[in-house]
Amino acid sequence: MKMRQYGIGEGRIKRIVRAPHRTEYGIAPDTVAVMQPVSRRRRSDGTRVWTREYWVLYQVKGSRIRLISVWCYPGVTQEGEALPEELLQELRRVL
């Protein structure tokens, strides 16, 4: 359902999990959250910028990965920054 909502395909989710731009501890116990920018572009000074991020929350069980949630964040988060309360409530509902 979330994949359709955000227009994210299965291949993109696999790519985010295999080669994330950033990895954080998930908000649920024993989970991992990984992120990739939706579309990066370069500024004139050479730095890369983006305006949206794809996030995948998953849990590793043995040798398998259990996908918990996928979402598109309409902004740029900083490392270690807390997630917005609205998103936390949605994830708690799913878990």
- Would you place residue 95 in the very low, low, confident or very high pLDDT band (cuts 50, 70, 90)? low
| Distance of alpha carbon 10 from alpha carbon 56, whole angstroms | 12
| Distance of alpha carbon 7 from alpha carbon 39, whole angstroms | 14
Domain assignment of residue 17, given as a range: 2-94
The values of phi and psi at residue 54, to 5°, are: -95, 130
Question: Do the Cβ atoms of 52 and 74 come closer than 8 Å?
Answer: yes
Predicted local distance difference test score (pLDDT) of residue 1: 80
Checking if the pLDDT of 58 tops 80, the result is yes
Burial of 90 (0-12, 13-18, 19+ CB in 10 A): middle
Report the mean per-residue pLDDT for the chain.
85
How many domains is the chain partitioned into structurally?
1
Bridge-partner residues for 36, per DSSP?
54
At residue 10's C-alpha, the angle toward residues 5 and 11, to 5°, is: 130
Q: What is the pLDDT of residues 14-55, one digit of tens each?
A: 999 999 999 998 878 889 999 999 878 888 888 888 888 999
pTM exceeds 0.85 for this model: no
